[in-house]
A and B are shown apart, each in its own frame.
Chain A
C-alpha cells in the first residue's frame, strides 16, 4: 500500500457498468500489470461520480484527472501515456462547452463547482465493496460514538437540532419521527429503510446504495439504538440487482467485523439488518403499503393514523426513513448538528441529491446545498438545455409534483418554496423539458403512470386516474371541448381530496400545475386543434413548401411511402397516409417541409 502512487477510479454505477465499465476495469488491471506498475497503481471500482452524461468515467488521483466517455479501447493509451509517462490523454478530457477548453481537474468543472457532497460523500470516492475504505473515511465512528458516548435521547436531540427533514418526499423532521418511535413501548421495534425509489427518472437512492452502502447500514443501526429497535429491514426494489448485491455484501462485511449483530462495539447494543425485495410497484414506496408488502400482504396503503411509529411492521412501532435521509445521519453525529444546520436554508437544512434528466446537457446525479436556485442547477451545473433549445419547464417531485417555469428559476430550492410554487421537492427527480415538449402530453405521461401504478384499493384513485388520462387523451388528440377542461379541473380536485393515500392525493398535480402555467397550450389543443410544441402527432401536419427542388430525399426516407413527386418537381405528402414520424422533416436539406 505504502508504495502506491496513483489510484485509478472507475465508475461502477449501473449506468457506467452497462456501458462496458467492467471491461475497462479488466483492461486497466491487466495492462497495468503488464507495465509492471501493479504495486504503484491501484485500480478501484467505485460508486457513481454523478456525471452520467459523460460516462463511463475514469478518474486518476491524486492529480484529479477526469476522463470521460472512456471505452475499453482507450485504456491502453491511459496506461501508456498517463500512468507511465505522466502525459494526460487530452482527447479523453472533458471539454468545457462554453470556453471550448479541455479541463482536467474535476474540481474545476462547472458540473462540480457548485455541488456539495454530504449524502454522496463517498460515492465515486471509495470502493463500496471494501469496508476498510469506509472505515478509513470515519465510517462506523458515528455508530461507535452513539453507542459509547451518547444516550438514545442525545442522539435524537442531535438529529432534531440538525433540522434534517426526510428526503423521501414528505420532508417530515427526522428527529421528531425518531422521538415518536422511541416514545412507544414494545417488546420489538423495527427500523425500515425505504429503497423503493419509484419516481420515473430517479436514481438517487440506487446510487447511494451502490456507491456507499455502509453509510445506510451505519445510520440504520444508529436509528435502532435511538428508538430501541434491534431489527432493521431494507425494502429495495428487485429491479436494482447491483444495489442489492453491494448492500448484501456490505451487510455481511459489517457482520464479520461485529458492527452488526450482538454486543456492537462492546456496548451491549444489538442490531441486524435483512433485505426485503419489492417487485417495483410505485405505491409500495408509500410507507404503509410498503409495510404491508413486507408482511406478505398486498401492497396497499391504509389510512394514517396510526402512523408506523405507533403501529407499523407486524403492528409494532416502526421507523421508516428514506435511503438519502439515512445517508446524512453519520455525518450529522460526527460533525454536529450546528455544522449541518449551517448548510442550506433556515427550514430546509443540509443538501439534496437530484437526478437531472430530460433535455439538459449534463444528465446526471448532483448534490447541492438547499437554497441553491433552479437556475444554478439547470444552467451552471446542468449546462443548460440540449441543442441550444429554449428552456420551458422543469418537473420536480415526479408524478406527484408539478412543473416550474422560467419565472421560478431564481427560487431557492427548499421544501417550502417548491410547495409555495405549486410543485414539491419529492424524492429528487428533476426532469427538464424544452420548447418542443407539449405540456398536456407531459401531464398525460404522468397520469398514465399513476393510472398504471394505482393499487386500486380506493375508487377516486383507481377510476379517477383512468378518467383523467382519458380526458388528456382527448386533449392531445384534438378531440376535447372546453367542458372537458372544466371536467379535468373538477375531477382533479375531487381526487386530491378523497384519495386514500399520497399516490392519489398527488396524482392530479401534474395536470393542475401545467394548466396553471400553460393554460394557453391547453386552449390551443381544444379550440385551434393545434399542438404549439409540435409533439402531439394527431395535431401536426407536415407540408411541403415552395423551397422544394424535387431532390426525392424525403420520398426515399418515408417509411409508409406517402410522398409523391417527379425528380426536380415539387413533392406532395398524402396527409391521409402520413404517420407523422417526421423523418422527411429531419432529412430535408432545403427547409422545404413545414411542421404545422
Chain B
C-alpha cells in the first residue's frame, strides 16, 4: 500500500472507495430516495427482470440521478405484466409499471424519476408488503 501523503490524496482515496459504502448509506436514508423495486420471482426473472434491473442501475447513473436505490422484491402478483417495477418517489405513493422493456425503463427514468411526469403502463397497486 502506498502511503497517503496529503489531505488531498486522502480525499482522492475517499472518492475512489466511496462506492464501497454507497449502497449501505442509501439504505440508511432510503426514505428520502427514489426507490425502485424490481419484481424478481421466477416469472419476473424469466421475463428479463434481471437485465432490466441492471439497466436501471446503469442508466439512472448515466442520467445523473444519484438518489435512486434499486432493490429486488418477490412476486408482486402482476405476473401477466412482467417484468414489473415499482417506483416510489420520496413522500409519494408507490407506482407500479408493467411490461417494462429497456425503452420503457428509459422513459420511466427520464420522465417519472427525473421530473415526476407519469408515463403509460401503470398498474393499479393491489399488493402489500411487510415494512
A-B contact pairs, 12 of them (CB 8 A): A2-B19, A5-B57, A5-B72, A62-B26, A86-B37, A87-B74, A130-B20, A132-B20, A137-B21, A148-B6, A148-B7, A265-B4
Within 8 A of A (CB), among B51-92: 53, 57, 69-75
> C-beta contact mask, A571-589 vs B, less than 8 Å → 1, else 0?
0000000000000000000
Interface residue count on the B side (C-beta < 8 Å): 42
Interface pair B17/A63, CB less than 8 Å apart: no
Whole-angstrom distance between the alpha carbons of A85 and B75 in the complex?
8
> Which A-chain residue is minimally distant from B45 (CB atoms)?
A85
Contact B130 A126 (CB under 8 A): no
A105 at the interface (CB under 8 A from B): yes
- The minimal Cβ–Cβ distance linking B74 to chain A, given in whole angstroms, is 3
Q: Are B30 and A64 within 8 A (Cβ)?
A: yes
Q: How far, in angstroms, from A137 to B22 measured CA to CA in the complex?
A: 9
Task: Report chain B residues within 8 Å CB of A306.
Answer: none
- Complex contacts, A148 vs chain B, CB 8 Å: 6-7
CB nearest neighbor in B for A258: B3
Q: How far is the CA of A114 from the CA of B71 in the complex (A)?
A: 26
Docked Cα-Cα span, A126 to B6, in Å, equals 24
What separation, in Å, do the CA atoms of A348 and B25 have in the docked complex? Answer: 29
Whether A339 sits at the interface, judged by CB under 8 Å, is no
Q: How far is the CA of A132 from the CA of B71 in the complex (A)?
A: 25
Q: How far is the CB of B82 from chain A (nearest CB, A)?
A: 13
Partner of A136, one of B21, B71, B73, B131: B21
A257 to B27 CA separation, bound complex (whole angstroms): 29
Once A102-B130, A108-B131 are accepted as A-B contacts, the answer to whether A136 and B20 lie under 8 Å apart by CB is yes
Once bound together, how far apart are the Cα atoms of A6 and B69, in whole Å? Answer: 10
> How would residues 14 to 50 of chain B score, 1 for a CB under 8 Å from any chain A CB and 0 otherwise?
1001111111101110110000011111100100000
* A560 CB, min distance to chain B CBs, angstroms: 51
B53 touches A266 (CB 8 A): no
Tell yes or no: A227 within 8 A of B by CB. no
> Given that A64-B30, A86-B41 are known contacts, is A266 also in contact with B24, CB under 8 Å in the complex?
no
Determine the residue in chain B with the shortest Cβ distance to A44: B24
Complex CA distance for A126 and B10, rounded to whole angstroms:
18
Residue-wise interface mask of A (266-279) relative to B, using a CB-CB cutoff of 8 A (1 in contact, 0 not): 10000000000000
Q: How far is the CA of A521 from the CA of B28 in the complex (A)?
A: 48
Residues of A within 8 A of B130 (CB): 88, 90, 93, 102-104
Cβ B23 vs Cβ A61 within 8 A: yes
Contact A256–B20 (Cβ < 8 Å): no
A61 near B74: Cβ-Cβ < 8 Å = no
A256 touches B1 (CB 8 A): yes
Distance A107 CA – B20 CA, assembled complex (angstroms): 21
- Complex contact B14–A136 (CB within 8 A): yes
A-B contact number at CB 8 A: 122
- Interface presence of A140 (CB below 8 A): yes
Interface assignment of A420: CB less than 8 Å from any CB of chain B: no
Contact of A543 with B by CB under 8 A: no
Q: B122: CB under 8 A from chain A?
A: no
Q: How far is the CA of A137 from the CA of B38 in the complex (A)?
A: 28
B5 is an interface residue with CB less than 8 A from chain A: yes
A87-B73 Cα distance, complex, nearest whole Å: 6
Residue contact A265 to B17, C-beta cutoff 8 Å: no
Interface centre among B3, B70, B131 (most CB of A within 10 A): B3
Name the 6 nearest CB pairs between A and B, nearest first.
A258-B3, A87-B74, A86-B72, A62-B27, A61-B27, A86-B40
B5 A265 Cβ-Cβ under 8 A: yes
Tell me the interface secondary structure of chain A in the complex: mixed
Is A104 within 8 A of B4, CB to CB? no
CB pair B23–A7 under 8 Å, yes or no, is yes
Find out whether the CB atom of A265 lies under 8 angstroms from the CB atom of B74.
no
B interface, CB within 8 angstroms of A: 1, 3-7, 9-11, 13-14, 17-24, 26-28, 30-31, 37-42, 45, 53, 57, 69-75, 130-131
Closest CB in chain A relative to B35 CB, distance in Å: 9
- The answer to whether A135 touches B71 (Cβ under 8 A) is no
Alpha-carbon distance A397/B71, docked complex (angstroms): 44
Let me know if B14 and A141 touch, CB within 8 A.
yes
Within 8 A of B (CB), among A451-503: none
The answer for the CA separation of A445 and B10 in the assembled complex, in Å, is 51
Given contacts A2-B19, A136-B14, A265-B7, contact A125 B131 (CB under 8 A): no
CB proximity to B under 8 Å, residues A240-261: 256-259
> Of B41, B69, B131, which is in contact with the most chain A CB atoms at under 10 Å from its CB?
B131
In whole angstroms, how far apart are the Cα atoms of A147 and B3 in the complex?
16
Check A135 against B14 for contact (C-beta < 8 Å): yes
A233 contacts B by Cβ under 8 Å = no
- Closest Cβ neighbor of A127 among chain B residues: B20
Q: How far is the CB of B97 from chain A (nearest CB, A)?
A: 16
Q: How far is the CA of A445 from the CA of B25 in the complex (A)?
A: 44
Could you give, for residues 130-150 of chain A, a 1 whenever the CB lies within 8 Å of some chain B CB and a 0 otherwise?
101101111011001101100
Contact call A265/B24, Cβ cutoff below 8 A: no
A63 nearest CB neighbor, chain B only: B71
Please name 5 further chain A to chain B contacts, defined as beta carbons within 8 Å, in addition to the given A105-B131, A256-B1, sorted by A numbering.
Answer: A2-B19, A85-B45, A87-B73, A136-B22, A258-B3
Q: In the complex, what residues of A have CB within 8 A of residue B3's CB?
A: 256-258
Say how far B17's CB is from chain A's closest CB, in angstroms.
Answer: 4
Asked whether any CB of chain B lies closer than 8 Å to the CB of A406, the reply is no
Q: How far is the CB of A569 from chain B (nearest CB, A)?
A: 55
Max chain A C-beta neighbours (<10 A), residue from B22, B70, B130: B130
CB neighbours of A2 from chain B (8 A): 19
Q: Are A88 and B74 in contact, CB atoms less than 8 angstroms apart?
A: yes
A147 vs B8: C-alpha distance in the bound complex, in angstroms? 13
Identify which of A90, A125, A147 gathers the most chain B CB atoms within 10 Å of its CB. A125
Tell me which residues across on chain A come within 8 A of B38, comparing CB atoms: 86
Q: Which residues of A contact B30 (CB under 8 A)?
A: 62-64, 105, 107
Give Cα A104–Cα B72 distance, bound, in whole angstroms.
14
Given the complex, which residues of B lie within 8 Å of A61, measured CB to CB? 23-24, 26-27
Q: Point out the residues of chain B lying under 8 angstroms from A130, CB to CB.
A: 20
Residues of the A chain whose Cβ atoms lie less than 8 Å from the Cβ of B10: 135, 140-141, 144, 265
**In the complex, chain B residues whose CB is within 8 Å of the CB of A9:** 24
Task: Give chain B nearest CB distance to A427 CB in angstroms.
Answer: 28
Q: In the bound complex, what is the Cα–Cα distance between A88 and B130 (angstroms)?
A: 9
Provide the residues of chain A in CB contact with B5, threshold 8 Å.
258, 265-266
Task: Give the docked Cα–Cα distance between A259 and B10 (Å).
Answer: 10
The residue on A at minimum CB distance from B57 is: A5
Residues of chain A with a CB closer than 8 A to B40's CB: 84-86
